[in-house]
Structure 1
Amino acid sequence: MMLRLYFMRLKCIFRKRDNVFWSALFPIFLSFVFSLAFSNFDEAEQYTMIDIAFVEANEPSYILDAAKEAKFSEDTNMFKIKEVSEKEAKELLLEGEITGYIIDGEKPSLYIGGSGIEETILKSFVDNYIQTAKKISVVASVNPEKVQQLINDSMKSIEYINDTNVNGKAPDYTLIYYYALLSLACLYGCNFGITEISDIQGDKSANGARINVAPVHKLKLLICNIGAAITVQVLCVFVAIAFMANVLSIDFGTRALLVVLTCVLGSICGVTFGAMLRSVIKKNEKTVNAICNAVVLFLSFLSGLMNPEIKYMVAEHIPFFSKINPSNLITDSLYYLYYFDSLEKYWFNLICMVLVTLVFVAITYFATRRRQYASI
């Protein structure tokens, strides 16, 4: 009997296409928009050569040689250099054709025309050169044999820390947006939960009125309906994940089963959240849907969907709320799976998600049990 009720409810849910749109098609569309917005993200972070001018006062010019050797990367030099007179350098700076110019001498002088990132890089280069020159001068007066070694060491750029995740890959800072979007897709299961409660409450819909006079145990019917809603919601989320992973090439890491577990629990949390709101808010279904979607969007906003900085501000100033916000729990769980070797924080997040879900279930149960009507 319960199996038959379950399959019949599945057919009803698939016919309600607006809920399927919000749980599957909307996240797919939004993830595609994200991919377009982030397509040139890495390229935008690459530095271009900085136009500067040199006014030589010494021969040979060591700072000029250092500037020619300076690089952003193996393929990109740091500076594009023009060797001119001081008068020409001033004119180029006034016309905005160069970022700054350097006058060589016993102590090189730097002249810049602003305070942007390029000017900051140029000033840092000159300051570093002057400091290194002083160190070489001191070493030369004390231990001349060590001068060449000091020069060689100063030309090296050593990285002591590498940013990698458990897969050995460099961090992708756009992933937080996709993880927050996936948590939004999971929580949009609230729409299914609202529909299921509406359809068994005699005072909330015509279907509910008919069901309440039918010889079917209400709890049994509720379990079948919620089970069917969770099934459809999980399928919708899996469609969204498949699109992100296979079409947009979003990396969810190597722990696929745990990603699936996270999305299943997140979907259950979303459905029960909607059921809880519908059972306690005495308004029509459209009003409850609007309230629920607004709350879900707000929770997603706090978990970094629009701006990751908001997520970290909430975690710093209201840490307790981060542990009861379902959207943040889903986002962080996916984040931990991708970046962290240890699963300790991941399991803690899942436990918090289960506890939050149980609270939603308990409120729904006590709000709907033994409901009787004088007339329907």
Structure 2
Amino acid sequence: MFLRMIAYRLKVLLKNRTLLFWTLAFPIALGLLFNFAFGGFDEVGKLETTKVGIVSTDEEKTADFEEVLFSIKNDGTSIYKGQRLSEEKAVKQLAADNISGYYTITPDDITLSVSQTGVAQTILKEFLNQYVQKTAEVESLLASGSIQPQELSQDLFIEGSHVEDIQEADSYSVKSFYFFTLVAVSIMYGFMWGLKNSNDQQANQSANGIRLCLIPKNKLIVAVTNLIASYILFYIQSLIILAVFRFVYQVDFGDRWLYILLIYAIASLTSISFGTLIGNLFTKWTYQQKNSFGIAISMAMSFFAGMMGSQSIKYWIDANLPLLGRLNIVNLISDSMYQLFYYDSLQPFYLNLLWLSGFAVVFVFLNYFFERKAQYEHL
């Protein structure tokens, strides 16, 4: 009887074309757009020397900046070729596409001017961001007395940062990085199946809920069978999406497939349980209101996980508010994929897995608490 209830629930869920679209077709379509948008970013590692101009009003600051800029090499070849220019000449050369951009260095600031967006311009901007960040860190260390001027070296600016990114470009895939976040978002959309379960189980929300309350079966048994059915369906959907990303869009996920399947399994349970919890918490809201709330939460998590051009915000959170990153389910999933792809050590991955498992356990326990206490004055 238990297996029969799961089979019946699967049939009901498979008839819901709207949810099938949002949890299966939509991520695949969005992945196609991602493929067009970011497919060429992996050519970063094959860049020829980028020409850049430098407009300076501070000789000492410019000399320090140039020393770091021109030290960046890939396979022994300098990444940047720069020349000092007046502002007027820099503007003219930029307009003629003779340079990819130019830095303006003043005693107070360093800015970058570009005339278009592209891989070269993105790299120039990333270098400036990291240089400014490192410079601020060094000034802070000097002010606190933690380091002495004679201890400073170029390594403070290049260690583990932009230089390594360029030198390891053959193993670094920008396309994969963006798809990791998309994978996390597509898994997070599993909350819709959990919300559907909750809506169908509540007598004040649907006719199905009324019928389920009248059948001679324990309500918790019904809830468990609904959870298992939605989990089976959504996990299969997630694997289909993963297969399309890997074999159609040619996204490199690395070779740790057992761990990838494990993160999918736990994350799918977490997202479905999260959707069920939304339904159990806001019992007086309409289904559409609860669904909109779930989408809003998912989009907020996606933004802070770096999906919408917000990578700098994600990095700032990781550096300054790591606990906030741990509370972001989308960030946990995407970071887990990232760690499996780039890191030899599995320790960071295991930590993320522990957090995701903790969320799943908490959500399931809370759903049990609310569903056990659910009562209706009349049907």
Following TM superposition, by how much is the alpha carbon of 1:39 offset from its aligned partner in structure 2, in angstroms?
2.9
Q: State the alpha-carbon separation in 1 of the partners of residues 75 and 364 from structure 2.
A: 55
Q: 2:70: which partner in 1? A: none
CA contact (8 A) 1:324 1:353 kept: no
- Structure 2 counterpart SS, 1:252: coil
CA contact (8 A) 2:263 2:353 kept: yes
CA contact (8 A) 2:187 2:238 kept: yes
Letter in 1 for 2:339: Y
Correspondence 1:22 to 2:22: yes
Q: State the alpha-carbon separation in 2 of the partners of residues 98 and 22 from structure 1.
A: 43
The count of corresponding residues between Structure 1 and Structure 2 is 295
Letter in 2 for 1:17: R
Q: 1:138: which partner in 2? A: none
Q: 1:3: which partner in 2? A: 3
CA contact (8 A) 1:47 1:72 kept: no
- Structure 2 counterpart SS, 1:38: helix
Q: 1:328: which partner in 2? A: 331
Following TM superposition, by how much is the alpha carbon of 1:38 offset from its aligned partner in structure 2, in angstroms?
1.5
For 1:45-60, list aligned pairs within 5 A. Answer: 46-47=47-48
- Structure 2 counterpart SS, 1:199: helix
Q: State the alpha-carbon separation in 2 of the partners of residues 42 and 212 from structure 1.
A: 55
Letter in 2 for 1:186: I
Q: State the alpha-carbon separation in 2 of the partners of residues 23 and 12 from structure 1.
A: 16
Query: Which structure 2 segments of 5+ residues have no match?
Result: 54-72, 82-88, 100-110, 115-119, 125-157
Q: 1:180: which partner in 2? A: 181
CA contact (8 A) 2:175 2:251 kept: no
Q: 2:305: which partner in 1? A: 303
Following TM superposition, by how much is the alpha carbon of 1:358 offset from its aligned partner in structure 2, in angstroms?
1.2
Letter in 2 for 1:315: D
Following TM superposition, by how much is the alpha carbon of 1:255 offset from its aligned partner in structure 2, in angstroms?
0.4
Q: State the alpha-carbon separation in 1 of the partners of residues 297 and 222 from structure 2.
A: 28
Query: Which structure 1 segments of 5+ residues have no match?
Result: 53-70, 80-91, 101-113, 122-158
CA contact (8 A) 2:181 2:307 kept: yes
CA contact (8 A) 1:190 1:274 kept: yes
Q: State the alpha-carbon separation in 2 of the partners of residues 339 and 223 from structure 1.
A: 37
**Distance verdict in 2 for CA 1:94–1:229, change over 3 Å:** closer
CA contact (8 A) 1:190 1:275 kept: yes
Larger helix proportion of the pair = 2
- Structure 2 counterpart SS, 1:232: helix
Deviations 1:211-263 (A, max 9, x none): 10110111111100011111111111111110110011101111011101101
CA contact (8 A) 1:72 1:78 kept: no
Deviations 1:96-137 (A, max 9, x none): 57969xxxxxxxxxxxxx98689xx9xxxxxxxxxxxxxxxx
CA contact (8 A) 1:51 1:98 kept: no
Query: TM-score when scaled to structure 1?
Result: 0.70
Look at both structures and tell me which one has the larger radius of gyration over its CA atoms.
1
CA contact (8 A) 2:44 2:169 kept: no
Following TM superposition, by how much is the alpha carbon of 1:286 offset from its aligned partner in structure 2, in angstroms?
1.0
Q: State the alpha-carbon separation in 1 of the partners of residues 225 and 354 from structure 2.
A: 25
Q: State the alpha-carbon separation in 1 of the partners of residues 172 and 329 from structure 2.
A: 24
- Structure 1 counterpart SS, 2:344: coil
Letter in 1 for 2:372: R
Q: 1:232: which partner in 2? A: 233
CA contact (8 A) 1:187 1:327 kept: yes
Q: State the alpha-carbon separation in 2 of the partners of residues 51 and 359 from structure 1.
A: 53
For 1:142-161, list aligned pairs within 5 A. Answer: none
- Structure 2 counterpart SS, 1:373: coil
**Distance verdict in 2 for CA 1:252–1:205, change over 3 Å:** same
Q: 1:202: which partner in 2? A: 203
- Structure 1 counterpart SS, 2:208: helix
Q: 1:293: which partner in 2? A: 295
Q: 1:40: which partner in 2? A: 40
Q: State the alpha-carbon separation in 2 of the partners of residues 9 and 353 from structure 1.
A: 26
Q: State the alpha-carbon separation in 2 of the partners of residues 322 and 268 from structure 1.
A: 20
- Structure 1 counterpart SS, 2:215: coil
Letter in 1 for 2:305: S
Letter in 1 for 2:225: C
Letter in 1 for 2:274: F
Query: TM-score when scaled to structure 2?
Result: 0.69
Letter in 1 for 2:292: A
Letter in 1 for 2:362: V
